[in-house]
A and B are shown apart, each in its own frame.
Chain A
């Protein structure tokens, strides 16, 4: 029974093509099997949660016997529950820009890498597996538009400059709300839309960004939140907005279902989310097993197949079809058009002790409430 890696890869790829979520359960390491449950947070429903269920949660339960429970807690509410001492989830994912905040507040426990197989760890870059966080996926907030309003072949908005140009493209916008400043790339979009060149984007000029937001606010038909990722494309479908910003995976998934939406990679942001284990949560062993399970190339490839987000294990790209790999955030041909979100800057403290992110959220709420 000697088979070369190449054959295995081809076999796996074929298998994945026919059954995207099928991982060979006989190659699941014994040490990942377990009992009980693992509670994690929602990804805001829709395509993203469907993908996680199909590629990660359901196979994990099938292969290990550990039940995955998805609770609808937002990270804000999860933090509150950690603070009152009864965490609502064991495992959650946060933007790379929020990890330092979680660590500083003491809301996370260390990640136990002892369950990871050696060959799995070999495929994962160092910066993606740190003491308190484990990289989940890369994604992008992209300029998006309705193909009813801008059918194929007509001039459509292509970047943030267009999205923020009401004269050139009249109509309503869908933009991230204040609580979604970081994940939705709200201020980066506003500044790029105001003509700031990408290389001069960071440190963000708050005054300029909020002035631009104030200016566009009357033309916003929908402010979508961190847990409302589905509302961005939905507002394009039901006509609440004609263009705006959305996460690339949601637009592509809906396009496949025949929804009249499209995206542009131009000036889109390259972002990533990390898994963190919630401090004092009861099912930490199961959380470690889960991370070890989904870090495997097969599980990683299955996720990219389910929703076009980039994954962290390099070996997974041997299993991902070429056509898909070329259309993931950060892929060659796309990456050049993108701007990487500067998480180090976002988590920097200001003179008053607040991080740039906390300051931005509070100021945003004050600006838009008037």
Chain B
């Protein structure tokens, strides 16, 4: 009896406690400033603690602390090898950017023209390769570009060449591999800004007597330039930070600055020099972004939809573009006439050639996955293409490969934890950014995206040094922090977009009817944001699932993640088992993307039914 009483008392006390803490929390949340501080703190702590401070440590180390010596920087710019690697990095970055933009533009243009069903089909074909691990695609290109790969074999079979062309271990291979990774990003970045351009403007120009080519070049193209420009900037800064593709597809002459940073840090054990190289790469990146900010609002690069976060108008008609147009006017007219002559027969048929081209691009994007798929059923013990016969041996091996299963489970666990924390931290950050009244809103937003601006290898090496100091290196927590850091910006972008389209009067209505802030959040705000949250979570998960650089440095003595396992096996022993594992992952990714699309469609249908749009 006594115990029962005690139990009841305890239960009462607990209820009181909960109510009190709820009250206390609600009281706090009622103050706007305090509320802002609470909501903002996780993302600020994360970014300052695990990005800004590590970068400062690297900067400090690169000048040997209070010695303030610039000898390491001098060495970078005086050493012929280092300099040629720098130039090679910029050269490859530029080539990749131009090729990606030119190749992606027509596809993005077509996407703005087609209806929703075709659109979702085409995007699926672009999304699946986009979210398929880097390493799987690089591995596929190693096979395709090989001396006895499909390309060389076909050319020899056609009698066009007698000796196989050296494609692998060349700059060409690096460019192909990088374009394959970056083109989908280019397509989506351009599409998201092009989709707002009204095609009727170009049509009106044609009605007023412009040739189709003129209508495009003088009306549509200039309007789409900001989108092209921002895609170009994005691709360039990603490209100069590439590590995996050049090291697997390139030869010794294709080394990029990232490889230099890793070599200096490990093989040569010259930490200071490696830091200095990192800082140089970082400064180059910042310089490019600064240059870009003269023409476009920077946040447009990562999410065109967030542009409205600022009250700024899109400056598509910046003086720079205006002057350029003036200068090239005569060339433009001649070019127009020429293009018109050439393309007249094509353009009369309604976008047929555009479709044909897009299908070619999709084939290019899908080809590596197809090769990997076919190879997974190879009867040969070795990686030879085409496979000599059909066999399920590799799939059977995969079922029994405990190391692959361990890696898969570890990657899933890691992805789940990272996605969980990234979604919470990023969503809170997005709330703060969208609803704060601070005047430096734009700067704060850019700050939240900063992990996307710093090349991955720099984040990886900086965190490596920093986490070693605070004894987090090699721990699961240390790894999760790294992954959260990389995924948070995506969550912020997705959630900020969702929150801006969110009707705040619903929350007010709930509050008027007596809901406390926490209740409003739980019963009104979050349910409405559910699809965005799921999308953000999925993005964060996939980011972690495909991450290699940070993992490479942070893993310590833990189980290998899936990308790391791929990296090892590609380096150590190329076998068709990799193909089976890859195919399995591609299928998983495809299912995940389809699920996400389905959730979105369902949600749209529900909300549109309700609002009667």
Contact = CB atoms under 8 A, between A and B. Distances in A.
A72 B253 contact: no
Nearest to A50: B573
Interface in A23-73: 39, 42, 44-46, 49, 69, 71-72
Interface string B55-89: 00000000000000000000000001100110000
A361 interface: yes
Contacts of A221: 147, 166, 168-169
B267 A230 contact: no
A228 B571 contact: yes
B573 A230 contact: yes
A273 interface: no
A240 B84 contact: no
B84 A369 contact: yes
A71 B551 CA distance: 13
A370 B88 CA distance: 10
Nearest to A222: B169
B383 interface: yes
A51 to B, nearest CB: 13
B146 A240 contact: yes
Contacts of B468: 81, 84-86
B510 interface: no
Contact of B574 (A71, A88, A230): A230
B249 to A, nearest CB: 12
B556 interface: yes
B267 to A, nearest CB: 4
Contacts of A223: 169, 251-252
Nearest to A218: B166
Nearest to A363: B81
Contact of B271 (A83, A229, A362): A83
B31 interface: no
Interface in A350-370: 358, 361-362, 365-366, 368-370
Interface string B556-569: 11001000100011
A253 to B, nearest CB: 11
A45 B465 contact: no
A300 interface: no
A15 B416 CA distance: 48
A230 B271 CA distance: 30
Interface in A213-272: 217, 220-223, 225, 227-231, 234, 237-240, 257-259
A358 B468 CA distance: 26
A231 B555 CA distance: 24
B265 A71 contact: no
Given A42-B568, A230-B574, A231-B571, A86 B474 contact: yes
Contact of A177 (B84, B252, B253): B252
Q: Which of B471, B557, B572 has the most CB of A within 10 A?
A: B572
Given A84-B468, A177-B252, A370-B253, A365 B81 contact: yes
Interface string B261-278: 001011111010000000
B110 interface: no
A1 interface: no
A95 to B, nearest CB: 14
A151 B491 CA distance: 59
Contacts of B166: 172, 221
Q: Which of A220, A240, A258 has the most CB of B within 10 A?
A: A240
B473 interface: yes
A69 B383 CA distance: 28
A6 interface: no
A231 B469 CA distance: 36
- Going nearest first, the 7 A-B pairs with the smallest beta carbon separation are A45-B572, A239-B148, A84-B468, A368-B252, A76-B266, A230-B573, A46-B573
Interface of B: 80-81, 84-85, 146-148, 164, 166, 168-169, 251-253, 255, 263, 265-269, 271, 381-384, 464-465, 468-469, 471, 473-474, 555-557, 560, 564, 568-569, 571-574
12 contacts: A49-B572, A72-B568, A81-B473, A86-B474, A89-B557, A172-B166, A179-B263, A221-B147, A227-B572, A231-B574, A234-B383, A238-B574
Given A69-B557, A172-B147, A234-B382, 13 more contacts: A45-B572, A76-B267, A84-B469, A85-B468, A89-B557, A217-B252, A221-B147, A230-B572, A238-B384, A240-B147, A362-B268, A366-B81, A370-B253
